[in-house]
């Protein structure tokens, strides 16, 4: 660690399954944006869209020479994040290692006591806390009064007092998305996320939202929101997702945002999360006019008694009304449900499945994961929930890690696995037909095209074809460069040259990849 230069900070986004359709790491980008505004040298390594290896660890430590390495994580990938931090620390024991995110915020004691290579945990909102901690560490000063951090001292885990939430979030700069490989997310047909507020006044027992970002909703200004939306629209993603749980709750503000999008003439499809009890026909009309195409509702259960137990504070009748109003307005409603909630029985499962099928065509089921920090975990015995494992890798909301007294985890797994099985079997059958050159059902043609595009890009990213292709030292025209790259991919994969060339031309048209010509020659790069 050098005393003669400012600290360098490396932020890590750990791997996360492509099947879960990850988005750009918004929280990490927000932290990086704030650190950069404070004149701190910061870089992000995104291992979601870049294969992780020890060789990469050694290379970035040699090239960038960070003083601090910080990783974010949710419960499902916290073990992976910890393993990556351990590798960094082992490669350079002088590194200061930090973890943040919802899991470690509520599991700091165990993380620090069981993983001695983790030096600090940043709890809750990270921007102000991380910056102050970096300043102290850079000056070799004490961190004993830095609010919002946990650490080990003299063999004991210390939890400093919680930091008050940022009162005016408009002091924060835009997230530093330019430090992320945006073109790879675009190539995979993932979406861009936009947050317009922080905070949640609700207290659903399965969610850490309120404990993480507070009861009071804090808003970014309308101008700031639309400025950022306009900036994101220029990236050419198919869709932008507004990820606030309560975007539609403040109707006046929501309408103002929509009006400003329309006034500026921004043409961009977008979607948002919404509560069923926050909609009105005039609001939905504004959303539609501004480019919103879909609203996602967390309904959770088709049993009113369970909804009351989990403190959702909605009614089934409101759910019906909201979905009907969406259809009237020309918006696509998407509804999500959770199996295995307190009080779940075979009968309530049947009620939920029947309710979901009757409400709309676009719906899906997850399985309860009692994450650290949730009320359902803290009070699981009172809620009649038996937690089966603390293997965080299994907390993906797609497999049962808990059960109620009335329905077993095996039964929940079986039900959710069988849900949609008919569609998946038919899709696989039609995919096989497509590969044999046979005719496929019309309704599957678009799905198969998107799947083939996704798989090609995934293989291209994970095998690092762009990175390993040497191009031409003498240089050649762009069309010849793409043609040569297609031949390279064909020689290193299952794809023939024609398929590879068609995919590369598609990615060029989307501005996901580009042909670079300089004094070194001609090469293919991610845009």
pLDDT tens-place values along the chain, 527 residues long: 444 578 999 999 999 888 788 889 999 999 999 999 999 999 999 999 999 999 999 999 999 999 999 999 999 999 999 999 999 999 999 999 999 999 999 999 999 999 999 999 999 999 999 999 999 999 999 999 999 999 999 989 999 999 999 999 999 999 999 999 999 999 999 999 999 999 999 999 999 988 999 999 999 999 999 999 999 999 999 999 999 988 999 999 999 999 999 999 999 999 999 999 999 999 999 999 999 999 999 999 999 999 999 999 999 999 999 999 999 999 999 999 999 999 999 999 999 999 999 999 999 999 999 999 999 999 999 999 999 999 999 999 999 999 999 999 999 999 998 887 777 888 888 888 888 888 888 888 888 899 999 999 999 999 999 999 988 767 678 888 999 999 999 999 999 999 999 999 999 999 999 999 888 788 899 99
Residue 292, helix vs strand vs coil: strand
pLDDT given for residue 255 in this prediction = 98
Fold match between domain 8-159 and domain 191-419: no
Beta carbons of 430 and 436 less than 8 angstroms apart: no
pLDDT given for residue 323 in this prediction = 98
pTM of the model: 0.94
pLDDT given for residue 4 in this prediction = 57
- The CATH architecture to which 191-419 belongs is Alpha-Beta Barrel (3.20)
Q: Which among 133, 135, 113, 138 is positioned nearest to 123, based on CA atoms?
A: 133
- Domain ranges for the chain: 8-159, 191-419, 429-526
Residue 272, helix vs strand vs coil: strand
Residue 315, CA distances (Å) to 205, 380, 423 in order: 17, 24, 30
8-159: what CATH class? alpha beta
Number of H helices, E strands in the chain: 21, 19
**E strands within 104-212?**
120-122, 149-153, 156-159, 192-194, 197-198
Q: Which residues face 71 on adjacent strands?
A: 12, 99
pLDDT given for residue 1 in this prediction = 42
Q: Which among 182, 194, 191, 274 is positioned nearest to 239, based on CA atoms?
A: 191
String of b and e for 483-507 (b: at least 16 CB within 10 Å)? bbbbebbbeeeebeeebbbebbeeb
pLDDT given for residue 489 in this prediction = 97
């Amino acid at each position: 660690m050098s005393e003669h230069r400012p600290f360098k900070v490396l932020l890590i986004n750990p791997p996360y399954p492509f099947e879960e359709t990850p988005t750009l790491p918004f929280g990490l980008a927000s932290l990086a944006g704030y650190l950069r505004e404070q004149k701190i040298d910061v870089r992000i390594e995104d291992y979601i869209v870049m294969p992780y290896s020890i060789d990469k660890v050694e290379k970035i430590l040699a090239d960038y020479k960070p003083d601090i390495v910080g990783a974010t994580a949710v419960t499902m990938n916290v073990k992976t994040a910890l393993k990556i931090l351990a590798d960094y620390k082992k490669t350079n024991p002088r590194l200061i290692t930090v973890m943040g995110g919802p899991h470690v915020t509520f599991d700091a004691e165990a993380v620090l006591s069981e993983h001695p290579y983790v030096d600090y945990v940043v709890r809750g909102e990270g921007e102000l806390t991380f910056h102050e901690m970096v300043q102290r560490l850079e000056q070799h000063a004490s961190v004993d009064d830095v609010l919002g951090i946990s650490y080990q001292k003299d063999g004991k885990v210390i939890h400093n007092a919680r930091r008050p939430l940022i009162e005016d979030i408009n002091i924060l700069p835009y997230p530093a998305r330019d430090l992320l490989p945006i073109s790879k997310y675009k190539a995979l047909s993932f979406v861009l996320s936009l947050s317009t507020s922080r905070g949640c006044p609700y207290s659903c027992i399965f969610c850490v939202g309120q404990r993480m970002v507070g009861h009071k909703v804090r808003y970014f200004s309308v101008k700031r929101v639309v400025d950022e939306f306009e900036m994101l629209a220029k990236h050419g993603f198919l869709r932008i997702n507004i990820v606030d749980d309560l975007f539609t709750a403040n109707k006046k503000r929501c309408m103002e945002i929509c009006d400003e999008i329309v006034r500026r003439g921004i043409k961009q499809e977008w979607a948002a999360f919404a509560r069923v009890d926050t909609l009105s026909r005039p609001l939905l009309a504004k959303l539609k006019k501004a480019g919103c195409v879909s609203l996602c509702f967390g309904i959770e259960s088709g049993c009113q008694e369970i909804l009351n137990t989990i403190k959702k504070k909605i009614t089934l009748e409101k759910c019906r009304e909201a979905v009907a109003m969406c259809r009237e307005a020309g918006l696509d409603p998407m509804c999500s449900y959770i199996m295995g909630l307190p009080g779940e029985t075979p009968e309530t499962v049947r009620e939920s499945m029947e309710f979901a099928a009757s409400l709309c065509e676009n719906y899906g089921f997850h399985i309860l994961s009692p994450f650290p920090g949730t009320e359902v975990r803290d009070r699981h015995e009172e809620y009649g929930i038996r937690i089966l494992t603390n293997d965080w890798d299994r907390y993906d909301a797609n497999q049962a890690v808990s059960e109620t007294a009335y329905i077993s985890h095996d039964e929940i797994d079986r039900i959710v696995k069988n849900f949609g099985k008919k569609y998946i079997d038919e899709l696989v059958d039609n995919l096989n037909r497509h590969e044999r050159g046979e005719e496929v059902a019309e309704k599957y043609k678009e799905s198969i095209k998107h799947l083939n595009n996704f798989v090609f890009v995934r293989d291209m990213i994970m095998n690092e074809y762009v990175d390993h292709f040497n191009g031409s030292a003498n240089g050649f025209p762009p069309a010849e460069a793409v043609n040569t790259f297609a031949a390279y991919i064909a020689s290193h994969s299952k794809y023939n040259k024609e398929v590879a060339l068609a995919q590369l031309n598609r990615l060029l048209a989307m501005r996901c990849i580009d042909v670079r010509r300089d004094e070194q020659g001609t090469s293919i790069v991610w845009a």
